[in-house]
Copies of this chain bind each other. A is one copy, B any other.
Amino acid sequence: MNGSLMVVGLGPGDTALVTPEVSAALAAATDVVGYLSYLARVPPREGLTVHASDNRAELQRARQALTLAAEGRRVVVVSSGDPGVFAMASAVFEALEDAPELQTLDIRVLPGITAMLAAAARVGAPLGHDFCAINLSDNLKPWALVERRLQLAAEADFAMAFYNPRSAARPHQFARALNILHAACGPDRLITFAHAVTTADEHIETVTLAEARPEMANMRTVVLVGNSATRRVGRHVYTPRRAD
């Protein structure tokens, strides 16, 4: 099998955040596979076949990519952000588990700038101490597990980043998450809502948990919660390196 499969991260949106490694992979690809709105960020080119799919069809998309690579194509699967953070890389390996005959394929993951780090950079350094990243969607895990992780993360005094905080299909869960955080971290804890970071639609605001409203988040928002020491300095928000 001479084909290859690269799972690449396009970063949060700005082309200046796409690594040269990823640009080179896209330039060498015969086929690119991904969610429609991410494919719009790949420069079209003679000889490059584009395979678009719906955002929810991750596993199907991963299988298609493996099949194309097994046929000898140089396939690139595109993710937003980093492919290893709540994105396509795990889906590709899940699909690979079901296809033992393809496990010798040349499969590589190329990292990208993930949304929480782009958002953190925009406001300062809110993740400058120990932190955790939690996907708040309950599509693939029970909501009770999300609540349990929020409690333990607060107990550990981690700064936190939340992906997929709120969707139209489950508007009440994020309100519940904010209540848990308010109870565990107090009203003054800083929370940043970073919407569509580094794109033309970017909107970022930092408030306290007392001021936070569920409507400040949607599926294009990454949410950052500080630890007990996170504070403002000038226009910036940061978490000190030191802890007691």
| A contacts, CB < 8 Å to B | 11, 14-21, 24, 58, 82-86, 89-94, 96-97, 103-104, 107-114, 117-118, 120-122, 124-135, 140-142, 145, 148-149, 152-153, 155-158, 233-236, 238-244
Residues of B contacting A149 with CB < 8 Å? 130, 156-158
Q: Nearest residue in B to A140 (C-beta to C-beta)? A: B242
Within 8 Å by CB of A18, from B20, B111, B124, lies B20
A134 to B153 CA separation, bound complex (whole angstroms): 12
Chain B positions within 8 Å of A141 at CB level: 242-244
Please indicate the chain B residues that have their CB under 8 angstroms from the CB of A241 in the complex.
58, 86, 90-91, 94, 140
Q: Which B residues touch A90, using CB under 8 A?
A: 125, 128-129, 238-241
Known A121-B109, A127-B85; contact A148-B140, beta-carbon cutoff 8 A: no
Question: Which residue on B lies nearest to A127, using beta carbons?
Answer: B84
Shortest Cβ distance from residue A133 to the other chain B in the assembled complex, whole angstroms: 6
The docked-state distance in angstroms from the alpha carbon of A90 to that of B239 is 6
Q: Please report the C-alpha to C-alpha distance between residue A152 and residue B240 in the assembled complex, in whole angstroms.
A: 21
A112 cross-chain contacts in B, Cβ below 8 A: 113
Partner of A121, one of B11, B111, B148: B111
Instruction: Assess the A134–B145 pair: CB atoms within 8 A.
Output: no
Q: List 30 A-B contacts (CB under 8 A).
A: A16-B21, A16-B24, A17-B111, A18-B20, A82-B121, A83-B125, A84-B126, A89-B124, A92-B125, A93-B125, A93-B236, A93-B238, A96-B233, A103-B233, A103-B234, A104-B234, A107-B234, A109-B120, A109-B122, A110-B121, A111-B120, A112-B113, A129-B135, A132-B133, A132-B153, A140-B243, A141-B242, A142-B243, A152-B155, A153-B156
Are A19 and B21 neighbours in the complex by a CB distance under 8 Å? no
- Residues from chain B with a CB closer than 8 A to the CB of A85 are 117, 127-128
Question: Least Cβ distance of A243 to chain B in Å?
Answer: 4
- Return chain B residues, CB-CB under 8 Å to A114: 117
Contacts of A15 in B (CB 8 A): 20
CA distance A239 to B130 in the complex (A): 21
In the bound assembly, the distance between CA atoms of A112 and B238 in angstroms comes to: 17
> Complex: how many Å from CA A157 to CA B24?
36
Nearest Cβ distance between residue A232 and chain B, in whole angstroms? Answer: 10
The smallest C-beta distance from A66 to any residue of chain B, in angstroms, reads 11
